[in-house]
Amino acid sequence: MENIAVVFGGRSVEHEVSVITGMQIMENMDKSKYNPIPLYITKEGKFLSGDVLKDFTTFKENDFSKAVEVFFKGYNEDFNLYTVSSKKGGLFGKDSRDVEVFAKVDVVFPALHGTYGEDGCFQGLLELMSVPYVGCGVTPAGVGMDKVIMKKVFQSEDIPMTEYFYFYRDEWKEQEKIIEKAEKIGYSLFVKPANLGSSVGISKAKNKEEFIEAVEVAIRYDRKILVEKAVENPREINIAVMGYENDLVVSACEEPVGWKDLLKYEDKYVAGPKGSKGMKGQKKNLPANISDTVREEIEKYAKLAFRAIDAMGDARIDFLLEGDTVYVNEINTLPGSLAFYLWEESGISFKELITRLIELSKVRYEQKAENITSYDSNLYKNTSYGAKL
């Protein structure tokens, strides 16, 4: 049986959402194959583990007294989680502190939403240790998180999007220049922090006053701000893609219904009907009521968007539909969206989805192991550098 470290929480405004995702992954993992090890990162950045973190009551009551503080050493191919144990009555009667292995990890399953997790930061640590992990690598995760860079990559692949521009927080000191750019595109506009998810900090602006207010909100969350032309009365269509490189499969399409302008954080995550799937039991047509032609176009651009950022594992791609005109809105990489309910509609259970994602992580790990990472040369002997030191 393999030990799968499920990492959740983190230093992000999406901390609580991440905890729920981590819980869902551990609960639905195939226990005949895998032993889930919770690895909770507190809002302060501490790493905690222990079976108590498999119980959601621990988080509701905010009581982590029975959890164990753990850490990675960061060594190449050191797959262990460590902890420091305290022993009383050691040499000369003094207490001693020893570093010992807490658990061996076979694969890491990141469930960190938002900054310092979904953006590739945590994946960088795993790359340094050469530990297999689920989901996108460092660069694809960063591109998927940064909506501006994402759009630039999509542009290079001729993926259809609405008109947009971006600016940095310091540029807002000259408001009129930014407002002029916005009004050149024309209201209505969406104003978004470039590097957040879960609709945090996003507003729709229908005039100059609302635009100023929207920017003032967004710049509190990020230094880079994205401004997009809004599609009036759009239909939102979502689809998931799973796989790696050219071996890709797509899920059923869904259409959230009953929303207006923007699904906010509370709409997505505040508890809805018991047993509901997806966002707060959000009303949806699943599968979406669209023509075969539109569905095929969405599937084509979904795969293209996935490949364009070199994604791995699972991702949900959100589209806007204006009549029969398709626009890609954004890609939500793991763990921003497991989209398990889309896969269930396609005949893949949540348990099977998790298994497939773990198996995919090993494919990338084996591919990367084939890369040369060391090159022997006589550079030190042949260079004149250091001769006078």
Residue 268 is predicted with a pLDDT of: 46
d(CA 190, CA 300): 26
Please tell me which residue in 14, 254, 255, 297 is annotated as part of the active site. 14
Residue 260 is predicted with a pLDDT of: 58
Residues of the chain under the 50 pLDDT cut = 265-280
Q: Indicate the annotated binding residues.
A: 147, 190-192, 198-199, 228-236, 318, 329-330, 332
Residue 337 annotated in active site? yes
- Omega before residue 110 within 30° of 0, cis: no
Please tell me which residue in 12, 198, 203, 251 is annotated as part of the active site. 198
Residue 274 is predicted with a pLDDT of: 35
Please tell me which residue in 12, 49, 251, 337 is annotated as part of the active site. 337
Residue 347 is predicted with a pLDDT of: 95
d(CA 266, CA 200): 10
Three-state DSSP at 162 gives coil
CATH of domain 2-133: 3.40.50.20
* Lookup: tokens for 258: 């009953």
Residue 233 is predicted with a pLDDT of: 86
CATH of domain 164-229: 3.30.1490.20
| H-assigned helices in 93-246 | 121-129, 138-145, 147-156, 175-185, 208-218
Phi, psi of 335 (to 5 degrees): -100, 15
Residue 117 is predicted with a pLDDT of: 87
Q: Indicate the annotated binding residues for ATP.
A: 147, 190-192, 198-199, 228-236, 329-330
d(CA 15, CA 134): 19
For the domain with range 234-369, which CATH number is right: 1.10.3720.10, 1.10.240.10, 3.30.470.20, 1.10.760.10? Answer: 3.30.470.20
Residue 14 annotated in active site? yes
Burial status of residue 254 (CB atoms within 10 A of its CB: 0-12, 13-18, 19 or more): buried
Q: pLDDT of 207-260, one tens digit each? A: 999 999 999 999 999 999 999 999 988 999 999 999 999 999 999 999 998 655
Residue 197 is predicted with a pLDDT of: 59
Residue 276 is predicted with a pLDDT of: 37
Residue 271 is predicted with a pLDDT of: 41
Residue 388 is predicted with a pLDDT of: 62
Q: pLDDT of 104-126, one tens digit each? A: 999 999 999 988 988 999 999 99
Where do the domains of the chain lie? 2-133, 164-229, 234-369
